[in-house]
Amino acid sequence: MADSPAPRGASSLTQETSVATTVAGLLVLALGVAGFVKRREIVAKVGSLLGVSAGDSSSSISSGESTMADKDKEKEERRWRQEARGRLNEMCAELKNYPNVDLSSRNLRSEGCAYISAALAFNDVCEVVDMSKNGIGTDGILALCEALENNLVLAEINLEGNAVGDEGASGLADLLRTRQNITSINLNGNNIADDGAKSIAEMLKFNTELAKIDLGNNVVDYDGAVALAEGVKANSSLRVLNLSGNYLGALGAKALSEGLRENRTLEELYVSGNDIGDEGAEQIMSSLVKGKVPLKKLDLSNSAVSRAGIGSLCEYLSREDCGLEWLSLYMNDVGVEGAVDLAEAIRKNASLEHLDIGGNNIGGEGVKQIAEAVKENAKITTLEMGYNPLSTEGATILAEQIKFDSKITTLRLGWCKLGADGGQAIADALRFNETLGTLDLRGNTLGDKGVGAISQSLKIVGLEGLERLDLGYNEIKDDGAFALAQAMKANPEGAAASINMSNNYITKFGKTALEEAASMVNEFTGKEVSITY
């Protein structure tokens, strides 16, 4: 969801840059214009962050009473200030030329952001600004907006995890109304409430270039949802909207659905964790059924949705013109009957590639119907069914469906109460499956018996597709580790590149066996095997 912008230029100010160098850049302009006393205070502050010690600054040098030690201290302080200034000036010169300015997680606060912004005002090649997780408040945000108002190439702004608030959101909305070269802005986790959402919504009515806005994990309530619905209705450029982790509720979801019904461009909508319930889910899905929004990704996870809330969703999935490719219903409560309804829709669907129905209290007949539907479906390659009570019976049913002619490349069955016998069923499927690349079996009490069965299957020469295997939290001991190590040695070409064995009961002997096996795999195939304990 809230991904960091990808670099757009060959040179970038990355997070590998030391904190010292970064803080230097934010103070450089002040050094050029501040008075002597203020300048000395700034240098003292940045010096400590730069790791350049100036000694005890509380000591004073009385006129006519300087001792040799005092003079040495004063000389050292001058040297220290010169060194700090040098670093500051060097950083300033560089900052003005970076196309990708990454200053995330530097504890800049508003003061630091203001100084950085002053330098950014002279950067006319900057395309990406990342100041996420810096505790920046309103003053810093407004300074940043002022600095960026003349930038004609800026495309992405990431301010996730700051304290933008409503006033800062209003300032950013004003910037986005005038600077329509900006296509993506991340405001996730910024304490933005309804007033800030209203400012952003008003901007959406006029902006014709913004493609992505992340407002997740803020405090937007019903009034903000109503305003955003109007903005979405009028907007003709937005492709991605994240409103997860707010307070929309059923009424807010209903308001949003009105905007979605008129929208013609939105492709991704994330509304998880808004307690929209069955009524809200039905309203959002009815807007897809009745409208023309070309949605490809929909996140309804953690939304308090039961079987009663997926009727319109099933109707939409069954339609020939359904374009939905990615769907998450994670951590709801559709139950067995809801799973049966969903399975019927999946059989008719020709677009879905990713299906997440983890944590929905699906077992028995629900597992059977979903497994068969996924097998019949033309496109689904990722299936998340973790946190459902599949048990050994469900694992056996699912294993039979993925054994032959399966299209599934990612299967997640974490915390499904499979047990050792369920692990055996999955192991049998692995002997014949030719597509699986990621298998998550965390928290299933497989034990040494279950992982031993899986290891026997992994020994089969020719089984080379599995790249990521997660066996964490499975009560595996050294015997299980030894079995897996033997499988890696027997079939080095088929060894997974990433193996998670964390939170088991493996001693140094089991770990040594696995590491030796990984070394042998590398020697024979050149493949690096990463094992997590």
* 94-141 per-position pLDDT tens digit: 788 899 999 999 898 998 898 888 889 999 999 999 999 999 999 999
Which of helix, strand or coil describes residue 162? coil
The residue-averaged pLDDT of 21-30 equals 41
Contact between residue 187 and residue 1 where contact means Cβ atoms under 8 Å apart: no
Distance (Å, whole) CA 373 – CA 364 = 15
Question: What is the pLDDT confidence band of residue 51, given thresholds at 50, 70 and 90?
Answer: very low
Locate 379 and state its tokens. Answer: 């496109």
* 53-85 per-position pLDDT tens digit: 444 444 444 555 557 777 788 888 788 777 766
The residue-averaged pLDDT of 295-306 equals 98
Q: Are strands 438-440 and 212-214 parallel, antiparallel or unpaired?
A: unpaired
Tokens 């993506």 — which residue? 184
Q: Which residues pair with 213 in a beta bridge?
A: 185, 241
The residue-averaged pLDDT of 410-432 equals 98
Give Cβ neighbours of residue 159 (< 8 Å, ≥ 6 apart). Answer: 131, 132, 136, 141, 172, 185, 186, 187, 190
Res 52 pLDDT > 60: no
Contact between residue 481 and residue 533 where contact means Cβ atoms under 8 Å apart: no
Output Rg (C-alpha) for the chain, integer angstroms.
28
Most distant CA atoms of the chain, gap in Å? 93
Tokens 């960091």 — which residue? 4
Residue 112: predicted pLDDT: 86
| Helices (H), ranges, 242-326 | 249-262, 277-290, 311-318
Residue among 530, 526, 486, 494 nearest 510 (CA): 486
Distance (Å, whole) CA 140 – CA 154 = 18
Residue among 267, 225, 260 nearest 246 (CA): 225
Other C-beta atoms closer than 10 Å to the C-beta of 206 total 14
Distance (Å, whole) CA 101 – CA 7 = 9
